Amino acid sequence: MTKIPITTTVNGTVHTLEIAPHQTLLELLREGLGLTGTKCGCEIGECGACTVLLDGEPVNSCLVLAPQIDGRNVSTVEGLMRANATDPLQDAFMDHDAVHCGFCTPGMLMSARALLAEDAHPDEASIRTAISGNLCRCTGYVQIIEAIKHVKP
Amino acid sequence: MKPFEYIAPRSLEETTALLARAGTDATILAGGTDLLVEMRRPNKMRKRVVVDISRVSELGGMITSDRSVVIRPLMTHARLQHSELLRIAAPLLASASAAIGSPQIRNRGTIGGNIMNAATCADTVPPLIALGATVTLRSAAGTREMPLSSLFLRPYQTIAAPDELLTEIRFPGLTADARSAFIKLGRRNALSISRLSVAAILRIGRDSRIAEARIVPGAAFPTWQRVTAAEALLLGERPSARLFAAAGACVSKEMILQTGRRWSTEYKEPVIAVLVRRALEQCAAPALPEDGK
């Protein structure tokens, strides 16, 4: 199959790539770019472990075809770190023990990041809606919600 | 995923020409929330060509023309959910869009995909049929417009030919005196497939009697339709709990007449009646919140 040339920005870095058309964004991130922070869970858009931001909006990267990100902006959990310092959202997760096994954490962080970009002080109902597409099988939702409530600006 | 040829046309003309050439070899990709799951399923018949329409700007957006609302197929559920226009012209459609999947799914999934996938649980379809929506299909050979209710043949199958593309969804916006509701019942709120749903529109006249009623259940009939027998019960009557319960019982009876008794009937029979009653109550009491859940 013919490879597709794309240019895309991932965590602020511009990449010019030749990709197989049947690759998903999730596969491109993990296998092509080595960004393994984004997790592969159900691969049918139900668990949210693969959540990344596409032009600032949370999406399931398992349901985006890699050629579809041509010309667009992708942010992954690796992009939350700035100058080797953790994001205040990540600090809040640590402070509130919101990480149990950790598998859902990158997706939770990205969904929460998108919410906080729109609303710096979300109420509990908005937080619950924002993470409704992210499953935590350790069921640590209470700590996750508390963490998002208490992110320091 | 198995390999395929990928083409991303930039215009409607280019898209219809591609579809005319590819015929049954091609499948259309928009938001991908259904297609990418399907394409990874083992033993699934695969298409050789994927035509990605997500970059065709003529297929995006929403406008009002005369008193009609025109929605183009690439509108995502998230944009419909937050649309100020729909909040006034078709709040039940905004509620239905908000009830689909999860934020991630709503950011990608499109109304065109929801319709053309033709799953019996498609949440945008009952509201659109209640609104009296028509759809336009376009191919290289021309266009045709039809009521949305006549687009569907059976679950997962529409009358659209392989080279036809949905280009437009159109309905008259609700008048200021109309009230609407969409209620969905799933196993949980987020990411659930509708077990049953109800879209309802009521218009109550100055004499406090029901002047217009439209009831469209979802996931209850093989394809969607207004339940005219139940609507007729309501016309000319004053809203009351007893009247709405009778309309609910009538929808339940019609459902069994059409689908027969099956394993799920014991559950669906009483539950659809209650959902219809609640939807009508929501319409009659506009002060109640309308969040689709």
The pLDDT tens digits of the residues spanning B201-212 come to 999 999 999 999
Contact flag A24-B54 (C-beta cutoff 8 Å)? no
Highest mean pLDDT among A81-90, A125-134, B222-231: A125-134
Taking CB atoms and an 8 Å limit, are A62 and B36 in contact across chains?
Answer: yes
Average pLDDT, chain A: 96
Query: Residue B290 domain-assigned?
Result: no
Domain closes at, from B138, B172, B206: B172
Q: Are strands B26-29 and B5-7 parallel, antiparallel or unpaired?
A: unpaired
Residue B57 has pLDDT above 70, yes or no: yes
Residue A153's pLDDT band, with cuts at 50, 70 and 90, is confident
In tens, the pLDDT along B65-106 reads: 888 999 999 999 999 999 999 999 999 999 999 999 999 999
**Is B261 a member of any domain?**
yes
Q: Which of A20, A44, A59 sits opposite B108 (nearest CB)?
A: A59
Provide the b/e sequence for A18-50 (b: ≥16 CB within 10 Å): ebbbbbbbbbbbbebbebebbbbbebebbbbbb
* Domain encompassing residue B223: 178-284
B291 lies in some domain: no
User: How would you class B263 by CB atoms within 10 Å of its CB: exposed for 0-12, middle for 13-18, buried for 19 or more?
Assistant: exposed
Q: Is B293 on the interface with A (CB under 8 A)?
A: no
Question: Across all residues in chain B, what is the average pLDDT?
Answer: 92
Domain match, B115 and B162 both: yes
Q: Are residues B191 and B133 in the same domain?
A: no
The 3-state DSSP class for residue B106 equals helix
- Residue percentage of chain A with pLDDT more than 70: 99
Tell whether B167 and B204 lie within a shared domain. no
Q: Which of B103, B279, B283 is closest to B185 using CA atoms?
A: B279
Over residues B170-192, mean pLDDT: 89
Of B3, B32, B104, the CB nearest to A65: B32
Q: What is the mean pLDDT of residues A96-106?
A: 97
Phi, psi of B132 (to 5 degrees): 75, 40
Collect all residues with Cβ–Cβ distance below 8 Å to A53 and sequence separation of at least 6. A59, A73, A74, A75, A76, A110, A113, A114
Whether residues B134 and B182 share a domain: the answer is no
Using the 8-state DSSP alphabet, how is residue B76 labeled?
A: B
What does the pLDDT look like over A9-39, one tens digit per residue?
A: 999 999 999 999 999 999 999 999 999 999 9
- What is the CATH classification number for the domain harbouring B118? 3.30.465.10
Residue B235 in domain: yes
Last residue of a domain, one of B172, B195, B220: B172
B67 and B167 both lie in a single domain: yes
What is the 3-class SS of chain A, one letter each residue? CCCEEEEEEECCEEEEEEECCCCEHHHHHHHHCCCCCCCCCCCCCCCCCCEEEECCEEEEHHHCEHHHHCCCEEECHHHHCECCECCHHHHHHHHCCCCCCCCCHHHHHHHHHHHHHHCCCCCHHHHHHHCCCCCCCCCCHHHHHHHHHCCCC
What are the CA-CA distances from residue B172 to residues B34, B87, B235 (Å)? Answer: 29, 14, 21
- The total domain count for chain B is 3
Q: Which of B103, B124, B102 is nearest to B112 (CA)?
A: B124
Whole-number pLDDT of residue B50 = 95
DSSP class of residue B46 equals -
Q: Which helix (H) or strand (E) holds B270?
A: helix B265-284
Cα–Cα distance measured from residue A43 to residue B38, given in angstroms and rounded to the nearest whole number: 11
Domain membership flag for residue B58: no
User: Residue A120: which residues within 8 A CB-CB, separation 6 or more?
Assistant: A153
Q: Does B141 touch chain A (CB under 8 A)?
A: no
Which residue from A2, A57, A67 is facing B8, i.e. has the nearest CB?
Answer: A67
Say if residue B82 is in the same domain as residue B148: yes
Residue with tokens 């009623």: B213
What domains appear along chain A, each with residue ranges and CATH number? 4-79 (3.10.20.30), 88-149 (1.10.150.120)
Q: DSSP assignment, residue B163?
A: T
Percent of chain B residues topping a pLDDT of 90: 80
Q: What span, in angstroms and rounded, lies between the C-alpha atoms of B225 and B221?
A: 8
**What does the pLDDT read at residue B289?**
43
**Each residue's pLDDT tens digit, B248-267:** 999 999 999 988 888 888 88
Nearest residue, CB atoms, A1 vs list B5, B32, B108: B5
With 70 as the cut, is the pLDDT of residue B136 above it?
yes
- Choose, out of A27, A65, A72, A104, the residue to mutate when testing the contact with B (most B CBs < 10 Å): A65
Residue B48 sits in the same domain as residue B127 = no
Partner-chain contact B2 A22, CB within 8 Å:
yes
Record: contact B6-A65, CB cut-off 8 A? yes
B78 by DSSP, 3-state: which? Answer: helix
Q: What is the mean pLDDT of residues B107-126?
A: 95
Split at pLDDT 50, 70, 90, the class of B45 is: low
Cα(B245)–Cα(B173) distance, integer angstroms: 28
Provide the 8-state DSSP code for B181. E
B37 and B73 inside one domain: no
Burial A131-150 (b: 16+ CB within 10 A, else e): bbbbbbeeebbebbbbbbee
Same domain for B68 and B162? yes
CA angle B44, B45, B49 (to 5 degrees): 120
Indicate the pLDDT class of residue B199, thresholds 50, 70 and 90: very high
Number of alpha carbons in the 13 Å side-chain half-sphere of residue B192: 16
Given an 8 Å threshold on Cβ–Cβ distance, is B103 in contact with A129?
yes
| pLDDT band, very low/low/confident/very high, at A83 (cuts 50, 70, 90) | confident
Q: Which of B156, B172, B188 is the last residue of a domain?
A: B172
State the CATH number of the domain containing residue B260.
3.30.390.50
Rg (CA), chain B: 19
Confidence of residue B292 (pLDDT cuts 50, 70, 90): very low
**Does B268 fall in a domain?**
yes
Partner-chain contact B101 A2, CB within 8 Å: no
- Taking the complete model, does pTM exceed 0.90, yes or no? yes
Q: Are residues B183 and B279 in the same domain?
A: yes
Does the residue B57 lie in any domain? no
Confirm if B199 and B126 have CB atoms less than 8 A apart.
yes
Write down the pLDDT at residue A1.
Answer: 66
Which residue of chain B has the CA closest to A27?
B1
Is residue B264 domain-resident? yes
Q: Do residues B238 and B269 share a domain?
A: yes
- The verdict on B201 and B218 lying in the same domain is yes
Give the CATH number for residue B46: 3.30.43.10
Strand partners, B50: B6, B27
Query: CB B211: neighbour CB atoms within 10 A?
Result: 15
| pLDDT band with cut points at 50, 70 and 90 for residue B293 | very low
Among the partner-chain residues B36, B37, B103, the one whose CB lies closest to the CB of A111 is B103
Shortest alpha-carbon distance between residue A16 and chain B (Å)? 18
Model pLDDT, residue A36: 98
- Tell me what the mean pLDDT of segment B109-114 comes to: 98
The residue count of chain B comes to 293
